[in-house]
Amino acid sequence: MKRDMALIRKILFFLEARTFLKAELDLPIEGYERDIIRYHILLLAQAGLIDFEPEKTKGGRIIRAHVLGLNWAGHEFLDSVRSEKVWKKLLKYAKDKGGSIPFDLLKSLGVELIKESLKP
């Protein structure tokens, strides 16, 4: 399964807007199948962007999970890609470079674009 950065961004926005602390792994993101959303939530947990409580079998397989919300790193990343203008520039850059760019580079470029936009 491929990583979909647009879905990552949508999940982060969804979690940021929540007012409650726990949610099942199934988040209602329009236009995406449940298994794709679950996979991306696991990617967000692996990347250290969300706080996440998995329930595992004795063999270690995750059978259910509670997403607690964004952590500091998640808020920082979302702030770097929040602007629609910045996001479109990042997508164009990725497309020009072959379709995808590493996560850390995406965040760094987002921060640089924000810095540029703040210059007088």
pLDDT in tens, 61-80: 877 778 888 999 999 889 88
DSSP class of residue 47 equals T
- Specify the long-range contacts of residues 115-118, CB closer than 8 Å, at least 24 apart: 117/83, 117/85, 117/86
The number of folded domains in the chain is 1
36-52, pLDDT tens digit by residue? 988 898 899 889 999 98
Q: Is the pLDDT of residue 24 over 70?
A: no
Residue 90: CATH number of its domain: 1.10.10
Residue whose tokens read 């995808």: 100
What confidence tier does 26 reach under pLDDT thresholds 50, 70, 90? Answer: low
19: amino acid identity, one letter: T
Domain that residue 43 falls in: 5-118
